Chain A
C-alpha cells in the first residue's frame, strides 16, 4: 500500500476501510466454516461411538468364522439427518469378518493397523474407493474370546455439502457487504471531511490585506475545532507581527524623513540667499548635524534589525554588577552634574550576572540616560542592585513626574515617545528603551516599569544571576585593615 496516493483523503479512507473490512470478513468466513466442519465432524464421531457401542452387543459369530449382525438391531432408531451407517468387522490378524450392505463391497479401509482402537476409540477421516469422504471410528472388541476390530463410519458428504453451502453464501455476500460498507464509508468520510474543505476555502481568502479574518470553529472540543483554533492562533500571531512590522516601517520612515526634510529645507533656503562664508558655514554645519542624526538613527535601526534576526551573537561572561554600574554612572555623571542631579548607587557587592558586557552596558546607559533626561534639575537618581534568588535586579529610579498609566505599556515600543516635541529635542529617536528591552530579553531577563504613587519611575532590569560566594575585594581590604 506504500506509494498509494489518490487526489483526496476520503477515497483513500474508503479504500483502506474496505480493504480492512474484506480481510476481516475473509478471516471470519474461514474461521466460521472451519469451526462448523469441526463441530459437525465431532457430532458424527459421537454418533459413530454410540452406534459402535450398540453394535458390539448385536454381533454374533457365525460358525464359518464370519460375523453377522443380529436382526433385531435394525429396529434401532436412526437420527433423521444421518445417513446410513457403514460398518466393517475385521479380525485382529487382518481377516474381513463382516461388511454391511450399505458399503456395497467398497472397502471402508484396509486391514486394521496394529493398535487400532485398542486403548480407546480411534477416529479418522478416509476416502472410499469411489472418493466418498467418510468419518470412521474403530474399536478393538473381544468377540467370544476372539480379537476383532469394529469400524463404524458415516459419509461426510452432507457435512461438506453444508460447508460449501455456507462458504458460497459468504463468498457471494462478501462483495455485496463490502460494496455497501464502502459506499457508507465514502459518504461518512465525505461528511466528516467537509469542514476541512470549508476551512481550506476560507483560508485561501485570508491574505495580507485581510489578516483579520478567522476560520469558523464549529465545535471547539473536536479535532477539527482544535485545528481551526490552532490555525486561528497562528493567524493572530501573524497579524500581530504584521501589524508591528507595518508600524515599525512607517515609524522608521517617519524618523528618517524628519532629518532628510531638515537637510533639504536648510540647503534650499541657504542656496537661495546670497550670504557670507560664515552664513554658508552655518548652513552646511546645520545640514551635517542632521546627517549625523541620520547616521545614528540608521545605526540604531541596524542594531534592532540584527537583534530581530538573531544575528547579534552574545559574548557572555560573568560580570560583577555593582562595579559595572558604577563605571556607567561615572560615564554619565557629567550629564547629571549639568542638571545638578545626584546619582546614588547602592546594593549588593557580590551580585553576579552572566551577560554580554557590550549589550548590558548599552541597556544600562539607555536606562540611566533616560533617568537623567526626565528627572528635574536638582533631583536624585537612585540605582540599586539587589540579588533575588536566581536573579539579580538593577533598579533605576528617577525623580521625574512619573509616567501616565496609558503610556506605561508602550514606553518599550520602538519609536514611542510620550512627549513628541520634547523628546526629539533631547535627541532621542524613541529607540533607547526598545533596545534596552531587547537587551534584557536576549539574556533571558526582563525589564519592567513601576511608577509608585509618590512619583518618579522605577525601571527594573532583571537578569538571571546569583550572589557570589566569593568575598569581594573591598571586604578583603577592610578585613586586612582591621588586622593591621
Chain B
C-alpha cells in the first residue's frame, strides 16, 4: 500500500512517515502543495494524507485540482482549524475524511485503515482474540468457556477494541465512535477510564494471559499472546 503524505511541518511529516512505515505502508513525503500535486499526478498512490495549511498552494487547492483531473485516490485531510466551515470546505472539495490537529497517531492510523478498507464487504459474524470470543449476532462474549456479563456500553467498547485488535485505540476514538461525543471534555475521559477498568476486570481477572492493555499517554490495546 502506497501512501503520500503532504505536510510542510518537517517534524510532523517525519513522525507520520516513520509511524506509517512501521505499519508496513510505503510512504512518500511531499513538503509543499506543488510537490504533492506533482507526485500525486505522476505516481500512483493508494491514499493521500493532505495538510490544509501548506505554503504556496493550499491543501484544498491541491485537492480540488486532483478531483478536477479525475484522480479518485482517497484523501484524508489534516486541518488545524476545527471550525465547521473548514470541514465542510474540505469535504466539498472532495476529501474522503478529515482529522483535526492535534490528532493522536492511532486515530490517524485507524482512519487510514478504514479508508483503505472502504467498499469491502464485512462478513464476519464473530470476533476473536486468543480465547476471547464475541458473537456479533447473539451479542454475547465468552472467555474460554466462561460467559462474560457485560453492559451494552461495555459490549460496544469491547467490540470496538476487538475490531481494532493489536492497534492502539485512543480515548478520542472511543469518545467519538462509541459514545458519539462530538465535544471533548474531561468527564468523558473519566467515564471511558471507568469503563476500561470494568472491562479489564471482567475480561482478564482470573486469567493468566492479560488481553486488555493500557498504553500510557495514548490509549488502550486489545492484544493476544499469539499476535
Contact = CB atoms under 8 A, between A and B. Distances in A.
Is the pairing of A and B real?
yes
A68 to B, nearest CB: 115
Given A296-B185, A331-B179, A358-B182, A338 B217 contact: no
Interface string B197-227: 0100000000000000001111000000000
Nearest to B179: A331
Given A334-B191, A334-B195, A292 B217 contact: yes
Contacts of B137: none
A335 B217 contact: no
A365 interface: yes
B195 A369 contact: no
B195 A291 contact: no
Contact of A335 (B183, B185, B191): B191
Contact of A299 (B184, B187, B194): B184
A340 B194 CA distance: 13
B interface bracket (residues with beta carbon within 8 Å of A): 20 to 34
Contacts of B182: 358
Given A295-B102, A338-B194, A358-B182, A332 B218 contact: no
A281 B216 contact: yes
A284 interface: yes
B9 to A, nearest CB: 16
Interface string A375-396: 0000000000000000000000
A288 B215 CA distance: 10
B121 interface: no
Interface in A309-348: 311, 331-332, 334-335, 337-338
Contacts of A332: 187, 191
B195 A285 contact: no
B215 A427 contact: no
Contacts of B215: 285
Contacts of B185: 296, 300, 362, 365-366, 432
Contacts of B18: none
A302 B82 CA distance: 10
Max count, chain A CB within 10 A of own CB: residue among B179, B183, B191, B217: B217
* Residue from the set A287, A289, A334, A369 with the largest chain B CB neighbour count within 10 Å: A334
A281 B213 CA distance: 14
A384 to B, nearest CB: 20
A332 B215 CA distance: 24
A347 to B, nearest CB: 22
Q: Which of B102, B186, B190 has the most CB of A within 10 A?
A: B186
B169 to A, nearest CB: 14
A287 B217 CA distance: 7
Contacts of A292: 171, 217
B187 A285 contact: no
The A interface, classified by DSSP as helix, strand, loop or mixed, is: helix
Nearest to B102: A295
B92 to A, nearest CB: 19
A299 B189 CA distance: 14
B55 to A, nearest CB: 23
B194 A334 contact: yes
A282 interface: yes
A281 B171 CA distance: 18
Contacts of A311: 83
A336 to B, nearest CB: 10
Contacts of B83: 311
A122 interface: no
B85 to A, nearest CB: 10
Contacts of B171: 292
Nearest to A290: B217
A33 interface: no
A286 interface: yes
Contacts of B179: 331
B79 to A, nearest CB: 13
Contacts of A366: 185, 187
A270 interface: no
A303 B83 CA distance: 10
Contact of B186 (A289, A303, A337, A427): A427
A303 B183 CA distance: 10
A362 B186 CA distance: 11
Nearest to A427: B186
A288 B187 contact: no
B159 to A, nearest CB: 18
Nearest to A298: B102
> What are the 8 closest A-B residue pairs judged by CB atoms, nearest first?
A288-B217, A285-B216, A285-B217, A369-B187, A334-B194, A289-B217, A427-B186, A295-B102
Given A285-B215, A291-B217, A335-B191, 7 more contacts: A288-B216, A292-B171, A296-B185, A299-B184, A334-B195, A366-B187, A369-B187
Interface of B: 82-83, 102, 171, 179, 182-191, 194-195, 198, 215-218
